[in-house]
């Protein structure tokens, strides 16, 4: 049973990593495409203040990674439990 839980945790972590890569490689091109038509007057710079961004996040943003992990853990647990029952 410990192996099933450990494998499920690994699937949950892999799901988080996959969601992060998907967000980066799909989300950034979409935002780049959506902001190409916006005209900028003069030179402008964009800065990232991570503390301000963290304080302005809605509470659901904290729960979203937990939800993604839980979904991956659930599917991994179901898959590995079925393979354990077949043996």
Q: Which of 74, 77, 75 is nearest to 85 (CA)?
A: 77
Check: pTM over 0.85? Answer yes or no: no
pLDDT tens across the length of the chain (87 residues): 888 899 999 999 999 999 989 988 887 788 777 777 666 666 666 677 778 877 888 878 888 889 999 999 999 999 888 866 666
- The residue ranges of DSSP E strands in 1-87, in sequence order, are none
């Amino acid at each position: 049973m410990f192996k099933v839980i450990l494998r499920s945790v690994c699937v949950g972590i892999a799901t988080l990593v996959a969601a992060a890569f998907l967000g980066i490689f799909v989300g950034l091109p979409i935002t780049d495409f959506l902001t190409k038509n916006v005209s900028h007057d003069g030179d402008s710079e964009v800065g990232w203040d991570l503390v301000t961004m963290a304080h302005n996040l809605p509470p659901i943003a904290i729960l979203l990674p937990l939800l993604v992990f839980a979904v991956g853990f659930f599917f991994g647990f179901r898959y590995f439990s079925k393979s354990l029952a077949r043996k």
